[in-house]
Amino acid sequence: MSTPMNKLLIAVAAVAFLGVAPPAGAAEAPEVPEQDWSFSGMFGTFERGALRRGLQVYREVCASCHSLSLIAFRNLGDVGFSPDEIQAIAEEYEVEDGPDDEGEMFMRPAKASDRFVPPFANEQAARASNNGALPPDLSLMIKARKNGANYLYGLLIGYVEEAPEDVEMMEGMYYNKVFPGHQIAMAPPLFEEAVEYADGTEATLDQEAHDVVTFLAWAAQPELEERKRLGVKVLLFLIVLTAMLYAVKRKIWSDVH
């Protein structure tokens, strides 16, 4: 039988064959270790403990160089932080407000509606403090890299003390197994006991990387849980409706066939 479907399969197979034999010369991205994430899959949710620990890692480690400009403190309410906790976190930051009645700008403690305060006033200041490199904003990092969560996890645990002998390291760069080109300006940010977890979890490098990636995955797609919950309901509804439509179609066409 040569139905169009069979032909389609043949065509696709031909292309797939072509696809698996990539021509030489294309620089392949390094392998990234696949991890099991609480937020993957159809019913995935962000593990709340990991989120809290990840926030702690971000605030105590990453935040000294990386901004998180799209996240407001109030957003933490979506993942189980109480208004008092949010208030307490916000008040640890100072934001500029004003002008006041005298026309002066002034500093005040942050409110829940304020965003996380960036570590540097502007790009130039950030570069000046980081040997000319610009630490990127982390709000969308997980979506802004291919296979984002696994990539970032691999990057965080992927530092190697001694670069392979055939690699000539540039001044101020660090060797990383996962980073494209392997030379990264960021010093290894995480290590054993880099933080002391509030919930008593042992702060291994692996645990820290896992937690901060979970936190950043939430920061990049805060709608994820609502999206998946709604998606399951919508698809179930559509499958039922479509089955009914098929039955009606069969019924109506029965006098033609």
Partner 1 sequence: MANTVSTSPEHSGEGETRRDFLLIATSTVGVIGTALAVWPFIDSMNPAADTLALATTGVDISAIEDGQRITVVWRGKPVFIDHRTAAVIEAAESVPMEDLPDPEPDSARAEKPEWLVVVGVCTHLGCIPLGQKPSDPRGEFGGWFCPCHGSHYDTSGRIRKGPAPANLPVPPYEFVDDSTISIG
Partner 2 sequence: MEAKTWKNPVIAWIDDRLPVFSMMQAELVDYPTPKNLNYWWNFGSLAGIVLVIMIATGIMLAMQYTAHVDYAFESVERIMRDVNYGWLLRYLHTNGGSMFFIVVYIHFFRGMYYGSYRAPRELLWIIGVFILLAMMATSFMGYVLPWGQMSFWGATVITNLFSAIPLVGEAIVTWLWGGFSVDNPTLNRFFALHYLLPFIIFALVFVHLWALHVKKSNNPLGIDVKGPQDTLPFTPYYTIKDTFGLGVFMIVYLAFVFFAPDFFGEPDNYIKANPMQTPPHIVPEWYFLPYYAILRAITFDIWFVSAKLIGVILMFASILILLFLPWLDRSPVRSAKFRPIYKQLFWVFFADCIILGVVGGNAPEGAWVPIGQAATFYYFAHFLIIIPLLGKFEKTRTPPTSISAAVTHGGIGTKVKEAAE
Judged by the rule CB under 8 A, the positions of this chain that interact with partner 2 are 2-4, 7-8, 10-12, 14-15, 18-19, 22-26, 42, 70, 75, 136, 139-140, 143-146, 148, 180, 220, 222-223, 226-228, 230-232, 234-235, 238-239, 241-242, 245-246, 248-249, 252-253, 256-257
With CA atoms as reference, report the closest residue to 141 among 76, 67, 89.
67
CB of 12 or CB of 238, closer to partner 1? 238
199, 19 in Cβ contact below 8 A?
A: no
Q: How far is CA 198 from CA 12, 48, 76, 115, 217, in A?
A: 53, 14, 17, 23, 21
Q: Say whether 186 sits in a helix, a strand or coil.
A: coil
244 binds partner 1, rule: CB under 8 A: yes
How would you classify residue 187: left for phi > 0, otherwise alpha for psi between -120 and 50, otherwise beta?
Answer: beta
Q: Which does 112 bind (CB under 5 to 8 A by kind): partner 2, partner 1, none?
A: partner 1
CA distance 121 to 139: 17
Taking CB under 8 A as the criterion, the residue among 105, 113, 122, 171 binding partner 1 is 113
CB of 18 or CB of 256, closer to partner 1? 256
Minimum Å gap between C-beta 163 and partner 2 is 22
With CA atoms as reference, report the closest residue to 116 among 64, 54, 61, 72.
72
The H-or-E segment that residue 94 falls in is strand 94-97
CA distance 51 to 37: 12
CB of 37 or CB of 46, closer to partner 1? 46
Select the span of 123-131, 171-179, 210-218, 245-253 touching partner 1 (CB under 8 A). Answer: 245-253
161 binds partner 1, rule: CB under 8 A: no
Select the span of 27-35, 60-68, 116-124, 248-256 touching partner 1 (CB under 8 A). Answer: 248-256
238 binds partner 1, rule: CB under 8 A: yes
Minimum Å gap between C-beta 134 and partner 2 is 10
CA distance 180 to 177: 8
84 binds partner 1, rule: CB under 8 A: no
CA distance 44 to 37: 8
Q: In the complex, which residues of this chain contact partner 1 (CB under 8 A)?
A: 72, 74, 101, 112-113, 237-238, 240-241, 244-245, 247-248, 251-252, 254-256
